[in-house]
Structure 1
């Protein structure tokens, strides 16, 4: 306990300004050290089970698409696994989404993700989308308060470009039908199968996107978030790029090692890595001192 207190004190000293009280820091960290999905839900997460955007129309979302597995590379650690599968038909399509509460706004966001370039079963080629993002509900077309910050990996290309690439996208607003989007986009044109740390600094009207410690782009202006958002991950198939019906099931996986948010503080990639290491050495698998909004905002996990 003394070791834990010392490490936590050191972490808080790292995260807070000298004139701020340590207990005022809002920290959310989770490395998915859960026995099963029931424990995951008790830990504050929600597994999507409602049909709707994005993905294949009438495709399914549900508990069977999320699992907890042992990390094969780090003894004693767990991973969260999203799995999406399709046979090319809506009734044979299952997509995965995991959401946390809608209470996150400015500060630092980071996650450790294993992107995959090929299915674990069946032929490759479907336009599959592997994501980490924050979002608020779209109440209506061109909602001026809509807020969303995205990482989207397309291993098989799509949306008019056949090449593998990673998107970082900051949204102003959107109309769903017919599609009309207002956002700022960076494209990283390369295959990125394997483990990566993605990070966003959201402060002072600017959003800075980092991949494995390297800044890729800076967004802002009208694309800066306007209201608190939920933290989300999902894995889905774009209907514009699904293979013809081959009667062969395809399964894709995306693994998560950890996710972190530091409220109202801008951390460097090195500081995020140091914070995660501190927690893991201390055996801390989850902490959440980010206060809910008053009253709490709905977190529907349906978008």
Structure 2
């Protein structure tokens, strides 16, 4: 395939975003981009990523967080493209549950965030029905209950329902603060009901006291006020199971997968969905598999992967 044809194909892979607005020709001054073209998961650290290994919230008590549940693979739909795959499994018990999370540096606050992900409504093997959570989010540590500086914006897809409802749905949530035990949360949330099985582009614009949430180029919610983030956050993906709704224990584990094509952030800039698509296409056409122009927080912050 020629470079021109390949660039066109890569741009076509972004067609889940709206192209109804003019695209910006010049890239923002400070961009983070990763298209996960690594040869294997052991190279993720070279891109600034940290796999989670520490136990704890969220998910099933006693579950393990496994770095070997991350893999890189060729995209079967687009020649030359690579994908990040997250894999989680459960046999219905805490000790038989494996969850997975990947975190980037804690240095992101205002600007535009976007990622192209493939959600799945059914497990790749085993019985269907466990309350699995498939995500893309940014978060800061929760230092204590009702921490006033806690900041989080997340997308959480529940193909099998959970949290008091059997409905398939995605949440877009901007957090003020939270107490984990017993659970008491303060946030602004938006639900979109129905299946999102397949590829989708999720986006957040975080500027001027407002968090604007987009699914496939369509703005679905605006949050602000006390739910606006106030401290730098890390960029994260995770795949986990909600407590209190697993199928009965079984000798055959249920395995779920989530794929990520790329992730993008433009610091202190509001980009439209069309502009994000144009920037990602331009970066890929230029052969820029990874770009990190976002400076560390000052003073530098500990970039943990445990929440």
Deviation above 3 Å: which 4+ runs of structure 1?
none
Deviations 1:171-209 (A, max 9, x none): 000001110000000000011100000000000000000
User: Structure 2-normalised TM-score?
Assistant: 0.91
Equivalent in the alignment of 2:36: 32
Compared with structure 1, are the counterparts of its residues 285 and 12 closer, same or farther at alpha carbon in structure 2 (3 Å cutoff)? farther
Equivalent in the alignment of 2:26: 14
Q: Contact between 1:15 and 1:267, CA under 8 Å: does it hold in 2?
A: no
Equivalent in the alignment of 1:255: 259
Q: Report the alpha carbon displacement of residue 12 of structure 1 after superposing the two structures with TM.
A: 8.5
Q: Tell me how far apart the structure 1 counterparts of residues 78 and 288 of structure 2 sit (CA, whole Å).
A: 15
Deviations 1:101-158 (A, max 9, x none): 0000000000000000000000000000000000000000000000000100000001
Structure 2 residue matching 1:38: 3-state secondary structure: helix
* Matching residue within 80, 86, 101 for 2:105: 101
Q: Contact between 2:24 and 2:278, CA under 8 Å: does it hold in 1?
A: no
Q: CA RMSD in A?
A: 1.3
Q: Tell me how far apart the structure 1 counterparts of residues 183 and 63 of structure 2 sit (CA, whole Å).
A: 20
Q: Contact between 2:24 and 2:275, CA under 8 Å: does it hold in 1?
A: no
Structure 2 residue matching 1:41: 3-state secondary structure: helix
Structure 1 residue matching 2:55: 3-state secondary structure: coil
Q: Contact between 2:123 and 2:254, CA under 8 Å: does it hold in 1?
A: yes
Equivalent in the alignment of 2:241: 237
Kindly tell me the number of residue pairs found equivalent between the two proteins.
Answer: 286
Matches within 5 A, 1:41-80: 41-80=45-84
Q: Report the alpha carbon displacement of residue 15 of structure 1 after superposing the two structures with TM.
A: 3.5
User: Structure 1-normalised TM-score?
Assistant: 0.92
Q: Tell me how far apart the structure 2 counterparts of residues 255 and 95 of structure 1 sit (CA, whole Å).
A: 14
Q: Contact between 1:88 and 1:247, CA under 8 Å: does it hold in 2?
A: no
Q: Report the alpha carbon displacement of residue 248 of structure 1 after superposing the two structures with TM.
A: 2.1
* Matching residue within 231, 237, 242 for 1:227: 231
Structure 2 residue matching 1:232: 3-state secondary structure: strand
Q: Report the alpha carbon displacement of residue 13 of structure 1 after superposing the two structures with TM.
A: 5.0
Higher helix share: 1
Q: Report the alpha carbon displacement of residue 240 of structure 1 after superposing the two structures with TM.
A: 1.6
Structure 1: which 5+ residue stretches go unaligned? 4-10, 17-24
Q: Tell me how far apart the structure 1 counterparts of residues 254 and 218 of structure 2 sit (CA, whole Å).
A: 33
Q: Tell me how far apart the structure 2 counterparts of residues 159 and 39 of structure 1 sit (CA, whole Å).
A: 36
Structure 2: which 5+ residue stretches go unaligned? 5-22
Q: Report the alpha carbon displacement of residue 294 of structure 1 after superposing the two structures with TM.
A: 2.4
Q: Tell me how far apart the structure 2 counterparts of residues 90 and 54 of structure 1 sit (CA, whole Å).
A: 13
Equivalent in the alignment of 2:221: 217
Equivalent in the alignment of 2:16: none
Q: Contact between 2:211 and 2:222, CA under 8 Å: does it hold in 1?
A: yes
Q: Tell me how far apart the structure 1 counterparts of residues 25 and 134 of structure 2 sit (CA, whole Å).
A: 35
Structure 1 residue matching 2:78: 3-state secondary structure: coil
* Matching residue within 256, 260, 269 for 1:265: 269
* Matching residue within 163, 185, 195 for 1:191: 195
Equivalent in the alignment of 1:204: 208
* 1:180 partnered with 2:184: yes
Equivalent in the alignment of 1:20: none
Q: Tell me how far apart the structure 1 counterparts of residues 270 and 297 of structure 2 sit (CA, whole Å).
A: 21
